[in-house]
Amino acid sequence: MMHIGELAERTSLSLRTIRHYDEVGLMKPSGRTDGGFRLYTEEDLSRLLLIRRMKPLGFSLEEMSELLRVIDALDQGDDADLRAQLAGFIDRATEQRDKLQRQLDMADEFVELLRTKQ
């Protein structure tokens, strides 16, 4: 078990962000100390890293929560409806990744243009 500070360090997320995820129900700690401090497991760490990977792709907190629900349900058993929902999330993530790649390509072009002016 790890405290929130270690979790924050290992995920490069702020304490505030992790606490917010707890408040909105996206990422609950697996336990608490007698003093009430949050405790997290390696499984919690993996889950938080998954959440962190969704953020740059533009997923809302609600969408993140829904995707986590689908993943958790699929871990319990295969279901065609859940697979279809997952496919939709994969399509959305792929579209967002492609959009980010185009933006990075334009940024690279811009930087190169500036370098030619030196």
Q: Are residues 51 and 102 in the same domain?
A: no
> What are the CA-CA distances from residue 90 to residues 8, 11, 25, 29, 55 (Å)?
27, 23, 23, 27, 14
Q: Are residues 81 and 105 in the same domain?
A: yes
How many structural domains comprise the chain? Answer: 2
Q: Which pTM was predicted? A: 0.83
Per the structure, the complete domain to which residue 79 belongs is given by 58-118
Q: Are residues 87 and 105 in the same domain?
A: yes
Q: Are residues 40 and 81 in the same domain?
A: no
Q: Are residues 51 and 85 in the same domain?
A: no
Q: Cα–Cα distance between 7 and 40 in angstroms, integer?
A: 7
Query: Tens of pLDDT along the chain (118 residues)?
Result: 999 999 999 999 999 999 999 999 999 999 999 999 999 999 999 999 999 999 999 999 999 999 999 999 999 998 999 999 999 999 999 999 999 999 999 999 999 999 999 9
